[in-house]
Amino acid sequence: MTNQDEVQVSEAEIAVHWQEEKLYHPSTSFIAQANMTDPGIYDRFSLDNFPECFKEYADLLTWDKYWHTTLDTSDAPFFKWFVGGRLNASYNCIDRHLDEYKNKAAIIWVPEPEDEPHEILTYQELYVRVNEFAALLRDFAGLKTGDRVTIHMPMVPELPIAMLACARLGVIHSVVFGGFSGRACGERIADSGSRVLITMDGYYRNGKLLNHKEKADRAASVASAEGQEVDKVLVWRRYRGKYVSETPMVEGRDFFVDDLLADYRGARVEPVSMPAEAPLFLMYTSGTTGRPKGCQHSTGGYLAYVTATSKYVQDIHPTDVYWCMADIGWITGHSYIVYGPLALAATSVMYEGVPTYPDPGRPWRIAERLDVNIFHTAPTTVRMLRKAGPDEPAKYNYHFKHMTTVGEPIEPEVWRWYYEVIGKGEAVIVDTWWQTETGGFLCSTMPAIHPMKPGSAGPGMPGIHPLVLDENGNPIPAGAGKAGNIVIQNPWPGQFQTIWGDPDRFVETYFAKYNKNPDSKDWRDWPYFPGDAAVQAADGYFRILGRVDDVINVAGHRLGTKELESACLTVEEVAEASVVPINDELKGKMPDIYISLKPGYQPSEEIQAKVVRSIETTIGKIARPKHVWIVPDMPKTRSGKIMRRVLAAISNHMDVGDVTTLANPEVVETVRQMVQGDRESEFYG
């Protein structure tokens, strides 16, 4: 793929110019209380001890039946972990804590309006509400083990309740990020084959009560057009007994959950004992082609992996107050708000709204009030808080022992601000590199063992053995100062099992590139290819450089350029569309859109607005572009391929390189002047 080679070269150049950063060491007080202080864990999890080493992680769970085979590779690369074992995820996150912790907060929910009270769910209360909702799902919605359910909800406690109720029944949940459009939700309903949609009437964002229910109607009609009928829509209400949406309920299809629950008061549902390799959930993510991929995660392997990494890397103890600011609609929220922390009997804080509402002091008031001591967020949020309220953290009396960064590379300068100002110089930081597909962390420092290096994720996690390979599969040694593709040499329990309904794409996307023998049953022949470029320093730390495929990382979230381009092409006037990443001070990257028009149409602001609207309704507001450039033509190769690389260079004011071999080199200059010149208008003419 030419695109990959091109990215490689420029990323490698960046790497060469980077200086080594000074190391920061964990405090003695952090080390004194840490869950993991034994460097010997890396020997126990060496490749020689693989895969049996992962027994140590599985033993953090309560099994109904112990497994007989740690790793079954007979259908490689569809690996099975802890085969023969049986367990229930909801039991592990709730029931098993009741004896000791029934009266301790499991979830503290902070509504966005500051005058509304927090809602505190103890483990007992969580137990009651999960059981009652599970009974409703089983007896009213008719759901059974193995069915899929789509959950399209905002950050309210009813979201983890719904997930855990599904898990209790062995029903596979597919949570769609609440900010996604009804259409995006409908496509995921159809792909997963869900006949039940769980949603909410409305929620607060930035001071506004949004109408969320309207998205459900759109989702159901989009799913129906793709052949999947939704026969029940279960609508939670933001205020019990009071419907805040203007969208009518559909008779016979839509039901208020709070009304139905009256019939299930006191109901208890026996947790269904699931095979370790039964799917727990699907999480859709963007890839190089238009269709989002449903990453299928297992019950035993996934839960073992997120529990262990929450314990050792997040350093969660039952006495900690842990706040991850991610949305549960992404993998971070699944693994590190819900499953990992609850499996450890932690107190997990959930916040409904935006961090800067009503002012950028809000997160620190929450931290002070709840005495949060572990904090978890993304570089984009750190950048935003730095811009909006650089002096706010110092005004509040909170103290973090630990902070996480996740989702995109963090600039060393932003890292230092996170450390000094948000962390007040007291907290360790872990920069955790991983993906939707990987279930949990792949690279990170172990907080009480390794020093921190701003901008670098750190070494592979215990039992995770990364390598940087060149395009031909040759390892690039640590310290070579050269970038390449990072791969993981071995499977691990948190790894997703397949792409729902598309096993070929699973093999093709993540393994084909470096697999030399497709018939091999030996895990050594199946290095996992995540699609990121990286460089490994002499000390073994990995610095992640970004995606090598057509994926744009916007504020820590993945958007496929193909998905964006197809949204543009639904606009009547648009002939061709090309989407490239443009650097953004706050969001890391944003989509920059180039379109050309069909004959007979003139460029106009109206067309630009139509393109933006189409992206918002097809994907969601998070995909909003930085610009829409209407160009006379796209730079193309002689074979007619649009040269995204050239457009990306123009957007980012970089050298376009040699374009003389293109079919239309003159277009490059026209587009460059349009984008980089001082024109007022964003289109030519």
CB of 410 vs ligand WT7, minimal distance in Å: 7
Query: Are the CB atoms for 450 and 460 separated by under 8 Å?
Result: no
HSE (CB half, 13 Å, CA atoms) of 72?
Answer: 16
Q: At CB < 8 A and 24+ separation, what contacts does 44-48 make?
A: 44/462, 45/462, 45/463, 47/465, 47/489, 47/490
Q: Given candidates 6, 201, 320, 431, which one binds ligand WT7 under the rule CB under 6 A?
A: 431
Cα Rg of the chain (Å, integer): 25
CB of 621 vs ligand WT7, minimal distance in Å: 17
Q: Determine if 408 is a binding residue for ligand WT7 (CB under 6 A).
A: yes
Nearer to ligand WT7, 463 or 530 (CB): 530
Q: Determine if 436 is a binding residue for ligand WT7 (CB under 6 A).
A: yes
DSSP bridge partners of 65? 86
Query: Are the CB atoms for 165 and 137 separated by under 8 Å?
Result: yes
Q: Determine if 558 is a binding residue for ligand WT7 (CB under 6 A).
A: yes
Nearer to ligand WT7, 364 or 434 (CB): 434
Nearer to ligand WT7, 285 or 497 (CB): 285
Name the 3-class secondary structure at 231.
coil
Q: Given candidates 51, 202, 294, 409, which one binds ligand WT7 under the rule CB under 6 A?
A: 409
Q: Given candidates 407, 440, 494, 603, which one binds ligand WT7 under the rule CB under 6 A?
A: 407
Output the DSSP codes for 517-551.
-TT---GGG--B--SEEEEE-TTS-EEEEEESSSE
Q: Determine if 314 is a binding residue for ligand WT7 (CB under 6 A).
A: no
**Measured distance CA(261)–CA(462) in Å, rounded:** 44
Q: Given candidates 547, 589, 610, 672, which one binds ligand WT7 under the rule CB under 6 A?
A: 547
Nearer to ligand WT7, 97 or 589 (CB): 589
Q: Determine if 556 is a binding residue for ligand WT7 (CB under 6 A).
A: yes
End-to-end C-alpha distance for the chain, whole angstroms: 35
Query: Are the CB atoms for 345 and 104 separated by under 8 Å?
Result: yes
* Interface region with ligand WT7, contact rule CB under 6 A, candidates 339-347, 401-409, 461-469, 498-506: 401-409
Residues 6+ apart with CB under 8 A from 576: 595, 596, 634, 642
Q: Given candidates 544, 619, 649, 650, which one binds ligand WT7 under the rule CB under 6 A?
A: 544
CB of 8 vs ligand WT7, minimal distance in Å: 15
CB of 294 vs ligand WT7, minimal distance in Å: 13
CA 647 vs. chain centroid, Å, equals: 27
Tell how strand 293-298 and strand 498-499 pair up. Answer: antiparallel
**Measured distance CA(147)–CA(194) in Å, rounded:** 7
Which amino acid is residue 266, in one-letter code? G
CB of 281 vs ligand WT7, minimal distance in Å: 14
Q: Determine if 349 is a binding residue for ligand WT7 (CB under 6 A).
A: no
CB of 559 vs ligand WT7, minimal distance in Å: 9
Q: Determine if 309 is a binding residue for ligand WT7 (CB under 6 A).
A: no
Residues 6+ apart with CB under 8 A from 111: 117, 118, 119, 204, 352, 353
Nearer to ligand WT7, 80 or 558 (CB): 558
Q: Given candidates 347, 356, 373, 432, which one binds ligand WT7 under the rule CB under 6 A?
A: 432
Residues of this chain, 256-295, that bind ligand WT7 according to CB under 6 A: 285
Q: Given candidates 86, 232, 402, 557, which one binds ligand WT7 under the rule CB under 6 A?
A: 557
Name the 3-class secondary structure at 82.
strand
Q: Given candidates 433, 500, 511, 529, which one binds ligand WT7 under the rule CB under 6 A?
A: 433
Q: Given candidates 77, 179, 287, 530, which one binds ligand WT7 under the rule CB under 6 A?
A: 530
Q: Determine if 435 is a binding residue for ligand WT7 (CB under 6 A).
A: yes
Q: How many amino acids of this chain bind ligand WT7 (CB under 6 A)?
A: 25
Q: Given candidates 197, 457, 468, 577, which one binds ligand WT7 under the rule CB under 6 A?
A: 457
Q: Determine if 188 is a binding residue for ligand WT7 (CB under 6 A).
A: no
**Measured distance CA(48)–CA(565) in Å, rounded:** 46
Nearer to ligand WT7, 441 or 629 (CB): 441
Q: Determine if 406 is a binding residue for ligand WT7 (CB under 6 A).
A: yes
Q: Which residue is nearest to ligand WT7 (CB)?
A: 436
Name the 3-class secondary structure at 30.
helix
Structure tokens, 264: 């299930």
Structure tokens, 425: 């110089």
CB of 402 vs ligand WT7, minimal distance in Å: 15
Q: In what order do the strands lie in the sheet with 279-285?
A: 254-256, 232-236, 196-200, 148-153, 172-177, 279-285, 293-298, 498-499
Q: Given candidates 180, 281, 434, 514, which one binds ligand WT7 under the rule CB under 6 A?
A: 434
CB of 336 vs ligand WT7, minimal distance in Å: 9
Q: Given candidates 553, 578, 608, 651, which one binds ligand WT7 under the rule CB under 6 A?
A: 553
Structure tokens, 508: 């093709």
Give the interface with ligand WT7 as residue ranges (CB under 6 A).
285, 330-332, 406-409, 431-436, 457, 530-532, 544, 546-547, 553, 556-558
